[in-house]
Amino acid sequence: MPVYSEKVMEHFMNPRNVGEIEDADGIGEVGNPVCGDMMTFYIKVDDNHLSDVKFKTFGCGAAIAVSSIVSEMAMGNTLEEARKITPALVAEQLEGLPKNKYHCSNLGAQALNKAIDDYLKKQGKKVKSKRRGKNEKE
């Protein structure tokens, strides 16, 4: 069993912003084919800011903690700021992740980016997300 930081445990036990936004402006779903975990992010965008961020995650404890902290980090951000949430930053905010759980932080950053891509596409804008990983399910 991996050793998690207190922060990971805290977010795992009390995840923030769990749920679905029914009239979401953007939805991003990613999955990891190896572990089978799935993560979906829902965003509301108001004046280029993320006015609401929610998630649904079917996965390991780290994936749930990652989803929770990503939702907190992204809330209120501009789209550009939210794009800067990298897996490394997520792991840092969680006071570290075990090596074999690092891919869980990738999922969080990817799902959020995909939700932003989805929003931009719906707006008829160009999508230039660079974060297209092999973990991503199309």
Residue ranges binding ligand FES (CB under 6 A): 32, 35, 37, 59-60, 62-63, 101, 103-104, 107
Amino acid, res. 106? N
H-run or E-run covering 122: helix 102-122
- 60 included as an active-site residue: no
- With tokens 């799902």, the residue in question is 111
35 is catalytic: yes
Q: Which of 18, 35, 38, 79 is catalytic?
A: 35
Instruction: Tell me how far, at minimum, the Cβ of 67 lies from ligand FES, in Å.
Output: 10
Distance, CA of 129 to CA of 114 (rounded, Å): 8
| Closer CB to ligand FES, 61 or 76, in the complex | 61
Question: Between 15 and 59, whose beta carbon lies closer to ligand FES?
Answer: 59
Among 63, 82, 91, 104, the active-site one is: 104
According to DSSP, residue 99 is labeled: G
> In the 8-state DSSP scheme, what is residue 101?
G
**Catalytic site positions:** 35, 104
